[in-house]
Structure 1
Amino acid sequence: MAALLGDERATAVDELLADLIQRELVAPRSERRFAGEHEYTFRHALVREGAYAMLTERDRQLGHGLAGAWLERAGEPDPAVLAEHFERGGEGARAARWHARAARRALMANELTAALTAVDRGITSGAEGELAAELWATRTTAEHMMGNHAIAGSAAAEAMRLSAPGSLNYCRGLGGMIRSALFLGRFETLSPAMSQLLAIEPTNETRGELVWAMQGVVLSLLFGKGLRDMAAPILERLRAIAPGAAEEDPMSAAEMHSTRAQWELHVNRNPEAAVLQSQAAERLLQLAGNRFNQGFAAGESAMALMMLGAFEEAHARLLHAVELAAKDSVCVTFCRFLRCCLLVEQGMPAEAVTEAQGALEAEKARGQSIIFHGFENVLAAALLSSGQLDASERMLVAAGAGASGYYWMDTEARGIRASLLLARGQIADAIRESEEVIALCRSAGVYPLRHTATLLTRAEALHAAGDIDAAKLAIREARDDLLARAACIEVPAYRESFLTRSPANARTLALAAAWLDGARCHDRAITAGRSPPVV
């Protein structure tokens, strides 16, 4: 009130407030939001609304503008409150600035709908230049988090158009464009994006966004195209610009750990090392207050734990990831995919079928993406495991198995198809398909989750064809690969569960013992060398 009427009328304001308190229309607030200030509140919402309705439109606008200015000086902590006052006060530029801050705050809190609402209001308020670019960059991230990757890609292009090359928002937009290419399979955009990315010299302001963008490039090259050798120098570049000390920039350090976790799991094929990297990422993201990426890190940890045969731990991490994630976000979808995989690994294919079918229906509205193809694959695998061979084949055919354009998904699908061919008794086809997939993975140096199962399928198919010598050679190769990987696992309980609880791993050791010389696989696992296996 004093701000509205001026300091010279402060005494009159005090008298008016005393009268309103005596008439029980307003009351002093027991808890103060601003130190050194006396604060009051209406006793009833109807009184507040009635008083507001008595103001002329001009007075309302003036009052909101003055209130916003006072709150801004006083240090109002909620940017949405300031944005609301300036917007109603007719100060579009100031409103847009606070809407941008409100959007970023909501994004960090996993309040995605609120973030997008703030973005829309900021743009409508007349944001220009870098401020408009900031709003579009925030939209990019929020839409990605909600699984709307095509919309996110368009927003990323707009952020880059409005910002100066190499600026913070340009880097945010570039990272968003790379993520869209990854999720939508538009890898033709990756090469120019990489050139733009590598031409940018990192600054303290842009380093975090560049790390995020480079992570997207590494994952796109690995999972999208199976190009380990091209991804390796990008990973080294990422390591070079990531902070030396985690406390300097926990977000960037977390992205580095997350990228290394994927490399350990799918290139080095060391799930224990992947767990450690994912857990490090999760701790740093908690420090940074980023719940969304923390949920993803927990999900990545669950994937690696599943590969270790630590199913109960994996399930617990998935529950934790879902608790952290925003409702209906892509993180929840990712966790749902991992739950389907976990159910198959635990020998619960019927439950996996039900879960995957429901997820596919939910994902149809978002269009086909890498996660959509993942659900198609896991549904085909679950149907196969439950003995529904015809249904599994129909799923693979409908999904265009092996022809999606995603290296990781295609090798997974072809491995499933090889197992299906074996189950159908199409032995020669099973041998050919499994050998082609194995050769493709060896050449790429990037391995899908089912690689051990594909090695096993080849051995069993050769045995079924009567080529016993070749079958023994194949099962020996699969066993030696498995034992070399087990020797890299330091925790004995994880090493044991890796060898005995994973169905493909346990069957590989059993067949090797039966077909070869009854080799004591567990003893060999303990004494094998620690060099990463070459498959």
Structure 2
Amino acid sequence: MRALSGPPTPGARENDAWAALFEREILERRPTPRFVGQDELTFRHALLREGAYAMLTDRDRRLGHRLAAEWLLQAGEQDPMVLAEHFERGGETARAAEFYLQAAEEAQRAADGPAVLARARRGIACEPAGEVLAKLHNVLSEQLFHMDDLAQSSTHALAALESSSPGSDQHRIAMAFGLLVATHTEDRQVARDLVQRMPPADLPLDRWQVAVTFTTFAFYALLREGMPDLARRYLQRIEQDVAPIMGDDHTAGASVAAMRAWWYAHAERDEWAARQQYRAAIDHVEGLGNRFGMQMMRMYAALDELMLGAFELAGQSVDALFAEEHAPAYVLLTALSFRIMGLLEQRRVTDAEEQAESMLRRASVSNSFAHVAQARLLLSECRLKRGDLLGAEEEVRAVGDTARLVPFLQSVRLSLLAEIWLRQGRAAEAVALAREAFALERSTACFFVLRQEVVPVLLAEALHENGEVEAAREVLREARAELLARADKIADPAYRRSFLENIAAHARTLELARAWLDA
């Protein structure tokens, strides 16, 4: 109040005036003030507050809000929304935008998507410039990506690029978001163009926190895009130059552990090592109290449990994600695909088909090409498992422009067509498709879905059916050796058993190897 009203007038009986306001029940003291050593006063009735506010001139309102904002800031106000609104109403829009940005980031950590959007948009409406504007656009781009609104996510990534200086922190982060969105919309040319603009040598190691943030998004996008060699160069740069100096920073620790986990899981197919890194990432995120980060890490950890054949544990993790309040659409759609994969492996085909149809409906609403394509490929697998070969092929054909598919989805599509044609007696054509899928798996298709495990044994079966028995045996011999080498890395006997026995492609590989190689 003193900041608003100025020093007391000499001779005025100020205490009597305050006492009268309390006695007439116009004002009251809050029993628990927010600031130590300060009395906190409030109007007793909302109508009185609104009436008093309406009596002020516009100029006085602006001045009052500006003075209130400055006093609250000095007093230690912790709620950035309170500060943002006072600064905005006080005409200090540039400062208001900074606090709206802080408020949006706070909502992001709390996994409150609608609040993130509302606060970041209010910040942009304040018409800031430079890095603050770019960062607000980047916050919106990331949030909209996780809500599966890829078109708007891309729009804000481009706006961040336009409003930031080339080489700046926010410019690099906007490029990483743009790449991530491009790989999910299957805009392959945009993805390739962005990759050329961000070599690992250009990471800003003097601002290593930015380098880690940038690399985290770019790294995952590069693995999806089927560029593991470039992804590895980024990871090596972080391992060599950042990891030794980041100390106990939980944000950086979570990001680096997540990148290590992705590398083990998707590039090296070492699910056990990935599991250990996911646990480390989750520990870091818990240390931050970051609810959104926890949802993301648990989603990835659920996939790893699935890849280890621990279907019950993976299912529990997926169910927990669906029970979360404000879980982003991207997390839910991705987790739904994991549920479908698990149901297929457990031969619950009817349940899997119902869930795949639900995924297709959800993905179609959000217009996410990648999720629509994956839903159709999962539906194809459902129909293949119940013997509907025509229905299975129809779903594969409905995927659309195959050139837009990232390599692992191209591999899945080819393997499904190969199995359909093999069952139709078209062995030679099945061999050609299976070879193409196999070549993708050996070159660019990083490991993201269980269907990819089918490719080696499917190629062996197609070769055998086509009369190429020795070639089939050689493929199977190599597949068994690789499978057992992966299993040998799993320290827990129960997980090793579930990996070899619960995943249908693994069990089939070992079964055929016993029949063809050990007889």
* TM score, norm. by length of structure 2: 0.91
1:272 aligned residue: 272
Q: Deviations over 1:316-349 (max 9, x none)?
A: 2223444567334312222122112222122222
2:353 aligned residue: 353
Matched, 1:392 2:399: no
Deviation at residue 272 of structure 1 after TM alignment: 1.2
Contact 1:486 1:499 in 2 (8 A): yes
Matched, 1:259 2:254: no
1:365 aligned residue: 365
Are the structure 2 counterparts of residues 131 and 403 from structure 1 closer, same or farther at C-alpha, using a change threshold of 3 Å?
A: closer
1:80 aligned residue: 81
Take 1:17 and 1:329, find their aligned partners in 2: how far apart are those partners? 53
Are the structure 2 counterparts of residues 220 and 142 from structure 1 closer, same or farther at C-alpha, using a change threshold of 3 Å?
A: closer
1:488-527 equivalences under 5 Å are 488-517=489-518
Contact 1:243 1:249 in 2 (8 A): no
1:395-406 equivalences under 5 Å are 395-400=395-400, 402-406=402-406
Deviation at residue 437 of structure 1 after TM alignment: 1.3
Deviation at residue 354 of structure 1 after TM alignment: 1.4
Deviation at residue 235 of structure 1 after TM alignment: 2.5
1:154 aligned residue: 155
> For structure 1, which runs of at least 5 residues remain unmatched after alignment?
519-535
Are the structure 2 counterparts of residues 321 and 378 from structure 1 closer, same or farther at C-alpha, using a change threshold of 3 Å?
A: same
Are the structure 2 counterparts of residues 261 and 84 from structure 1 closer, same or farther at C-alpha, using a change threshold of 3 Å?
A: same
Deviation at residue 13 of structure 1 after TM alignment: 5.1
Contact 2:418 2:430 in 1 (8 A): yes
Deviation at residue 466 of structure 1 after TM alignment: 5.0
2:316 aligned residue: 316
1:93-492 equivalences under 5 Å are 93-198=94-199, 200-203=202-205, 206-224=207-225, 226-244=226-244, 247-322=247-322, 326-400=326-400, 402-444=402-444, 446-447=446-447, 449-465=450-466, 467-492=468-493
User: Which AA in structure 1 matches 2:144?
Assistant: E
Contact 1:166 1:201 in 2 (8 A): no
Are the structure 2 counterparts of residues 102 and 499 from structure 1 closer, same or farther at C-alpha, using a change threshold of 3 Å?
A: same
Contact 2:204 2:210 in 1 (8 A): no
User: Which AA in structure 1 matches 2:164?
Assistant: S
Are the structure 2 counterparts of residues 517 and 194 from structure 1 closer, same or farther at C-alpha, using a change threshold of 3 Å?
A: closer
Take 2:465 and 2:440, find their aligned partners in 1: how far apart are those partners? 23
Are the structure 2 counterparts of residues 23 and 163 from structure 1 closer, same or farther at C-alpha, using a change threshold of 3 Å?
A: same
1:8-47 equivalences under 5 Å are 8-9=8-9, 14-47=15-48
The percent of aligned pairs where both chains have the same amino acid is 34
Take 2:160 and 2:212, find their aligned partners in 1: how far apart are those partners? 18
1:531 aligned residue: none
Q: Deviations over 1:407-456 (max 9, x none)?
A: 11111111122222223332222222112211232233734532331222
User: Does the residue aligned with 1:309 lie in a helix, a strand or coil?
Assistant: coil
Contact 2:343 2:349 in 1 (8 A): yes
Contact 1:326 1:332 in 2 (8 A): no
Are the structure 2 counterparts of residues 151 and 517 from structure 1 closer, same or farther at C-alpha, using a change threshold of 3 Å?
A: same
Say how many residue pairs are matched: 516
User: Which AA in structure 2 matches 1:176?
Assistant: F
Are the structure 2 counterparts of residues 340 and 124 from structure 1 closer, same or farther at C-alpha, using a change threshold of 3 Å?
A: same
Are the structure 2 counterparts of residues 65 and 170 from structure 1 closer, same or farther at C-alpha, using a change threshold of 3 Å?
A: same
> For structure 2, which runs of at least 5 residues remain unmatched after alignment?
none
Deviation at residue 37 of structure 1 after TM alignment: 0.1
Which of structure 1's runs of 4+ aligned residues deviate more than 6 A?
none
Take 1:468 and 1:129, find their aligned partners in 2: how far apart are those partners? 65
Contact 1:242 1:256 in 2 (8 A): no
Take 1:203 and 1:230, find their aligned partners in 2: how far apart are those partners? 18
User: Does the residue aligned with 1:197 lie in a helix, a strand or coil?
Assistant: coil
Take 2:133 and 2:425, find their aligned partners in 1: how far apart are those partners? 61
Deviation at residue 246 of structure 1 after TM alignment: 5.8
Select between 226-235 and 467-476 the one with higher mean Cα deviation.
467-476
Contact 1:296 1:321 in 2 (8 A): no
Deviation at residue 508 of structure 1 after TM alignment: 2.1
User: Does the residue aligned with 1:450 lie in a helix, a strand or coil?
Assistant: helix
Deviation at residue 207 of structure 1 after TM alignment: 2.4
Select between 165-174 and 9-18 the one with higher mean Cα deviation.
9-18
Contact 2:250 2:287 in 1 (8 A): yes
Deviation at residue 507 of structure 1 after TM alignment: 2.2
Are the structure 2 counterparts of residues 328 and 228 from structure 1 closer, same or farther at C-alpha, using a change threshold of 3 Å?
A: closer
Take 2:49 and 2:29, find their aligned partners in 1: how far apart are those partners? 15
1:533 aligned residue: none
User: Does the residue aligned with 2:491 lie in a helix, a strand or coil?
Assistant: coil
User: Does the residue aligned with 1:24 lie in a helix, a strand or coil?
Assistant: coil
Take 2:289 and 2:302, find their aligned partners in 1: how far apart are those partners? 21
Take 2:332 and 2:209, find their aligned partners in 1: how far apart are those partners? 24
Deviation at residue 495 of structure 1 after TM alignment: 0.5
Take 1:181 and 1:435, find their aligned partners in 2: how far apart are those partners? 28
Deviation at residue 351 of structure 1 after TM alignment: 1.5
1:522 aligned residue: none
User: Does the residue aligned with 1:120 lie in a helix, a strand or coil?
Assistant: helix
User: Which AA in structure 2 matches 1:223?
Assistant: R
User: Does the residue aligned with 1:327 lie in a helix, a strand or coil?
Assistant: coil
* TM score, norm. by length of structure 1: 0.89
User: Does the residue aligned with 2:198 lie in a helix, a strand or coil?
Assistant: helix
Deviation at residue 270 of structure 1 after TM alignment: 1.4
Contact 1:137 1:155 in 2 (8 A): yes
Are the structure 2 counterparts of residues 403 and 40 from structure 1 closer, same or farther at C-alpha, using a change threshold of 3 Å?
A: same
User: Does the residue aligned with 1:110 lie in a helix, a strand or coil?
Assistant: coil
Deviation at residue 233 of structure 1 after TM alignment: 1.9
Contact 2:65 2:86 in 1 (8 A): yes
User: Does the residue aligned with 2:78 lie in a helix, a strand or coil?
Assistant: coil
Are the structure 2 counterparts of residues 9 and 196 from structure 1 closer, same or farther at C-alpha, using a change threshold of 3 Å?
A: farther
